[in-house]
Amino acid sequence: MAKKIEKDVLVEIKDLKQYFDIPTGFLKSRKLKAVDGISFKIKKGETLGLVGESGCGKTTAGRSILNLYKPTGGDIYFEGKKIETKVDIEHFRMNAAMVFQDPYASLNPRMTIGDIIGEPLDVHHLYKTKEERQQRIEELMELVGLSHEHATRYAHEFSGGQRQRVGIARSLAVDPKFIVCDEPVSALDVSIQAQIINMFEDLQEKLNLTYLFIAHDLLIVRHISDRIAVMYLGKIVEIADTEDLFNNPLHPYTESLMSAVPSPDPKTARKSKRIVLTGDVPSPLNIPSGCPFRTRCPKAFDRCSKDIPYLKEETPGHFVSCHLLENSNI
């Protein structure tokens, strides 16, 4: 488990929204609320895990933060400065990068590995001579455990784990401070996942990196994250330190997620009770009134259908969005 780090905030997200217009008929459309007003902070050198079911908006949130999708609303701050203008976005992209989920789809099959890693150097003009460019590419390849002799090869000649190392080397080319990791090991074999996760941790320590680590595998998130944010249907429902969240989940949705995590201890596994949710995740085109989780929540009551709950600090550093806790003695 990564150590808790109390440092200055590097990235702050305030009320981030990402809506898409979906055609529903002739000259008609509806808003798909992929990300619906999320807020959180990430401290320097920290890893914030972002978890939730498929389709909850995790990847969209990560891409919106980096302005790969222009946000519909909300504010993004980097090192205390609000990102507003094109110059701000360009500066942010010089200090931020993304590792994509699928190493098979995220690498250009027509480019050599060297050119793929060197592309950010070309875009941002980060070298003066071809020799300097080649030297930087070789440094990046060595950093992620690849031989510089592979620079002239193509992506199809590599395994999934090696391709993801190429993607990570590319993300490090601009010497970023902040990296969004979008399910970077979900497409890899389990044996390779551990290698890549360990490499992420080594790089973080060596280069003082800050991660937003998006994943659905809770055991991986627990291993690498300092804090975890739980997302459901475009909203953050709970944020807490990793061990606090696993040992004391407060939101009914988080309780259900944690009950599904397998335990290596047979005694603990026998005692634990699986919380199975009924129904399917509602469509983001037709989000329920009030609390978005109420249609599947075993503890829902009248107020849940009327009022939207907002994140509140229930215990120090532990934020929850649930009406059930408002009258409790936590």
pLDDT of residue 330: 42
pLDDT of residue 259: 84
Chain position carrying tokens 């401070």: 177
Reading the block at residue 1, the tokens are: 């488990």
In a domain, 330, yes or no: no
CA 287 to chain centre: 22
In a domain, 225, yes or no: yes
Whether the predicted model's global pTM rises above the 0.85 cut: yes
Chain position carrying tokens 């939101």: 251
Do 225 and 47 contact (CB within 8 A), yes or no? yes
pLDDT of residue 102: 85
For the chain, the domain total comes to 1
pLDDT of residue 19: 95
pLDDT of residue 187: 82
Give the rounded percent of residues in the chain with a pLDDT score beyond 90.
70
In a domain, 65, yes or no: yes
**Residue 128 belongs to domain with CATH number:** 3.40.50.300
In this prediction, the residues of the chain whose per-residue pLDDT falls under 50 are 1-6, 329-330
In angstroms, how far is the first alpha carbon of the chain from the final one?
26
pLDDT of residue 266: 61
In a domain, 3, yes or no: no
What's the CA dihedral at 94, 96, 99, 101 to 10 degrees?
Answer: -120
DSSP letter at 125 equals T
pLDDT of residue 4: 47
Reading the block at residue 18, the tokens are: 């990402």
In a domain, 242, yes or no: yes
Structural domain boundaries, residue 34: 9-325
pLDDT of residue 124: 87
